[in-house]
């Protein structure tokens, strides 16, 4: 298994085989993000999306206190310029065209933009000490980096409004009950559990995984009947059907051996 690490100023990146692990590294401010960190994350996820050897990404926060406390309000109050790149908060919230799976390993606080980053991921694995909230109304703001749109779509309108209008804190266990958390694990185990999920995903054809994600996400924008017809022509679905993996999967099944996925 290949292993390499890349250190940016505010983000750490390592590759574990086919898995890219992205760690927000501003623990002194609970991994809150300012403009320079956003631009680093934009580049990190651009590189992940473009790298054919990387199949799944995990994003987490340095330390056990926080995944990400959202926008760095102290930076902003001190005159720091606010803003992020075209890919949105943390390089994720406007990244609508990445068909590779991204997992949030939430270890502690996921507030505001931090929660919005997690909601933009395909899976959320949370430690028992994880806390989720969209507290923007408490400071005269609104969760406009995707929280107000994704949360109702993921857990239903009334449940989402109960969180949004109050800004209340939600535990990992309640997040599991509400439906936006996939698994709750002991403190300190979120990243290990996320890696376990990532390894399971990597056992499947990456072409099939990307086709499946694209079909699901695009299908949410149309009716069921429209989605059933349109999915045949989605780019990732067409690429899957034309790939070597499309042949390898049935062949490996017939020969009773593990498939050797090429990702093409």
The set of catalytic residues is: 116, 136
Q: What is the DSSP string of 16-85?
A: ETTEEEEEE--GGGTT-B-HHHHHHHHHHHHHHHH-TT--EEEEEESSSSEEE--B-HHHHHTTPPP---
The Cα diameter of the chain in Å comes to: 64
Angle in degrees, CA 49, 106, 188, rounded to 5: 120
Cα distances from 117 to residues 131, 132, 157, 235, in angstroms, run 14, 11, 20, 25
Residues 6 or more apart whose CB falls under 8 angstroms from that of 12 comprise 5, 6, 22, 23, 25, 62
Q: Which H or E element spans position 102? A: strand 102-106
Tell me the CA distances in angstroms from 204 to 59, 98, 240, one per residue in order.
21, 18, 12
**Helices marked H in 132-262:** 147-155, 157-164, 172-178, 190-202, 206-219, 224-230, 235-241, 244-254
Would you say 105 and 57 are in contact if contact means Cβ atoms under 8 Å apart?
A: no
């Amino acid at each position: 298994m290949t292993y390499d690490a890349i250190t940016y100023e505010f983000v750490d990146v390592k590759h574990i085989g086919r898995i890219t692990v992205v760690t927000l590294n501003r623990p002194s401010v609970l991994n809150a993000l300012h403009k320079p960190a956003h631009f680093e994350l934009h580049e990190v996820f651009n590189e992940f999306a473009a790298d054919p050897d990387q199949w799944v990404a995990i994003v987490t926060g340095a330390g056990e206190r926080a995944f990400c406390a959202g926008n760095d309000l102290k930076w902003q109050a001190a005159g720091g310029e606010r803003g992020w790149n075209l890919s949105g908060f943390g390089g994720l919230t406007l990244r609508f065209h990445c068909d590779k799976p991204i997992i949030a390993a939430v270890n502690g606080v996921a507030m505001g933009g931090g929660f919005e980053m997690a909601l933009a991921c395909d899976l959320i694995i949370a430690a028992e000490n994880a806390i989720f909230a969209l507290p923007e109304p408490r400071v005269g703001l609104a969760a406009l980096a995707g929280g107000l749109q994704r949360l109702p779509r993921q857990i239903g309108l009334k449940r989402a409004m109960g969180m949004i209008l109050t800004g209340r804190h939600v535990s990992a266990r309640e997040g599991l009950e509400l439906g936006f958390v996939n698994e709750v694990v002991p403190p300190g185990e979120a990243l290990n559990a996320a890696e376990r999920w990532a390894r399971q995903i990597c056992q499947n054809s990456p072409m099939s995984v990307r086709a499946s994600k694209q079909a699901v996400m695009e299908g949410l924008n149309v009716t069921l009947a429209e989605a059933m017809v349109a999915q045949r022509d989605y780019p990732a679905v067409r690429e899957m059907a034309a790939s070597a993996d499309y042949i390898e999967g049935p062949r490996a099944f017939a020969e009773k051996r593990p498939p050797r996925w090429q990702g093409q």
